[in-house]
Amino acid sequence: MFSKLYSNIKNFIVENYKFLIIWGIIIFLFFYEFPFVIYTPGGIVNLESRIEVTDGYESDGTFNMSYVSLVKGTLPMILLSYVIPNWDLISSSEITSEDSSVDDLLELEKLYMTSSIDNATILAYNKAGADINITREVNTIVYIADEAETDLEVYDEILEVEGQVINSVSELSAIVTDKTVGDSLNIVVSRNGKEQNCTAKIYDTPDGLKIGISFLTTYEYDTTPEISVKTRSSESGSSGGLMLALAIYDALVEEDITKGRTIVGTGTISLDGTVGAIDGVKYKILGAVKNDADIFLCPLENYEEALSVKEEFDLDIEIHGVATFDEALEYLDS
């Protein structure tokens, strides 16, 4: 039976090899990912459709997060980037490191999105005077320098450093600065759900003593009223933090701070309300205008670039740069 099956397959290949080769080439050209990505104008996400606050207040207008669409560099997409306006072809090496891929970057960006949601929620509840109780801090390693001498890995969760629980970068820095060059720190981490004992050697840099890692903090917390934030698997990054904080705050307070407007924006957010710079302002503004936004909020660091885009494309939209969450509230109120 197997010999007959083998014979049939062999005959089919011999008789149709030209057809099979052509299809193989087509599949390769259409699905093979070249080392490029394409940035395209994105759209907006109505955050009120993503946020559920128990007995939360409704608004006449909307807060919206703008985003950039990133397309992988298959041949059809690369060819389209030469035809479609504002589709910009970029080498993958410009957005990734030598030992990471676009998929690695997207996975990391999802972690940054989680941190952004946490920061926005905690900030909004505190500003609105609502109850929020942080029950746990999770410090996840997101970067390890090439010169670091350590057996730590990206995505390790730091549990203890030299027997101490670490809650901030400054606490880790304080431990490091108490040591000398060449000393090794004992670090306990959680890796794939299991505790691991690791070490990291201290070395000198122009900025002081380092062990060559960076970590990102996410939180677990209880809130009153309860809140849930929905996300999609295709979404990532921290640039929606400002708008998410505004949307949550708007649901917690009686005043309608949208005043019936379609408000779109971008910018990272920290626990103290600082708004951080982002990439891709051009694509985000174009996406906002395409969706009839009244106002576009952006980080102060990106404001001049945003005005340049508005002038270049003669856009009919109000743009305002803010450095803090409070500045955004004051501007919307005025």
166 in the same domain as 60: no
pLDDT at 303 over 70: yes
Would 16 be classed as within a structural domain? no
83 in the same domain as 172: no
180 in the same domain as 102: no
CA distances 272 to 201, 237, 276, Å, are: 32, 19, 11
Would 7 be classed as within a structural domain? no
Model confidence at 93, pLDDT cuts 50, 70, 90, reads low
- The sign of the torsion formed by the CA atoms of 104, 106, 112, 114 equals negative
Would 19 be classed as within a structural domain? no
Please tell me the predicted confidence (pLDDT) of residue 17: 65
CB 152 within 8 A of CB 187: yes
The domain of 275 spans 36-129+226-333
CB 66 within 8 A of CB 284: yes
pLDDT tens digit string along 121-157? Answer: 999 999 999 999 999 999 999 989 999 999 999 999 9
233 in the same domain as 95: yes
Last residue within a domain, chosen from 217, 251, 282: 217
Last residue within a domain, chosen from 217, 250, 270: 217
Q: What is the CATH number of the domain that holds 79?
A: 3.30.230.10
Would 252 be classed as within a structural domain? yes
pLDDT tens digit string along 223-282? Answer: 999 999 998 877 778 899 999 999 999 999 999 999 999 999 999 999 999 999 998 899
Would 23 be classed as within a structural domain? no
43 in the same domain as 142: no
244 in the same domain as 211: no
**Closest by alpha carbon to 70, among 36, 38, 100, 34?**
38
209 in the same domain as 303: no
Please tell me the predicted confidence (pLDDT) of residue 236: 78
Which whole number is the average pLDDT over 280-289? 91
165 in the same domain as 191: yes
Would 321 be classed as within a structural domain? yes
Please tell me the predicted confidence (pLDDT) of residue 173: 87
Please tell me the predicted confidence (pLDDT) of residue 285: 93
CB 140 within 8 A of CB 108: no
277 in the same domain as 237: yes
CA 196/CA 189 separation, integer angstroms: 5
Would 21 be classed as within a structural domain? no
**Closest by alpha carbon to 101, among 79, 72, 81, 77?**
72
pLDDT tens digit string along 6-60? Answer: 666 666 666 676 776 777 777 776 777 777 877 777 788 999 889 999 999 999 9
- The count of structural domains within the chain is 2
**Closest by alpha carbon to 185, among 176, 194, 177, 195?**
176
pTM of structure: 0.81
300 in the same domain as 279: yes
277 in the same domain as 182: no
230 in the same domain as 206: no
Q: What is the CATH number of the domain that holds 164?
A: 2.30.42.10
Would 103 be classed as within a structural domain? yes
Please tell me the predicted confidence (pLDDT) of residue 13: 67
Which run of H or E residues covers position 77? helix 75-81
Which run of H or E residues covers position 326? helix 325-333
Last residue within a domain, chosen from 175, 192, 217: 217
